[in-house]
Structure 1
């Protein structure tokens, strides 16, 4: 599988998780793109002794908040935490 094919597969899987969580498909696509960029850049942005799965999920939550294509005031509490947890499961499963 090429890198582009893997990226498309990953994006589709993340979108499916977001839609299942109740996000609109267009928003799910944007959040999936944000999540992929944030997940891939975690190593570069964190210290070697701070690279735990828990911190990576926390970082993903922050990235989703910063990259959200809407006003966060209308979002229910814990929405990004649940989504980041689901995204983390998908992102760690795929190479």
Structure 2
């Protein structure tokens, strides 16, 4: 298993979620030009060969604050968009 993660410290000062952004501060749905991303994701096997990852999955604890979306296509290979603004109307 290979993991990639992001973390934002949230002390909930004043009882509210932090306004600290992740990535560009934009949600994955906003896509290219707005949201942060990684593309052409590959792994190195035991023989030192590059391989496409299998079984990509995602996990988010507070998707109204920060989120992630995976995908793949011919130009970008396997990719994911990630990020979010932190505190917002749906993330208190």
Taking structure 1 as the reference length, the TM-score comes to 0.26
Bigger proportion of residues as helix:
1
Bigger proportion of residues as strand:
2
Whose radius of gyration is greater, 1 or 2? Answer: 2
Taking structure 2 as the reference length, the TM-score comes to 0.26
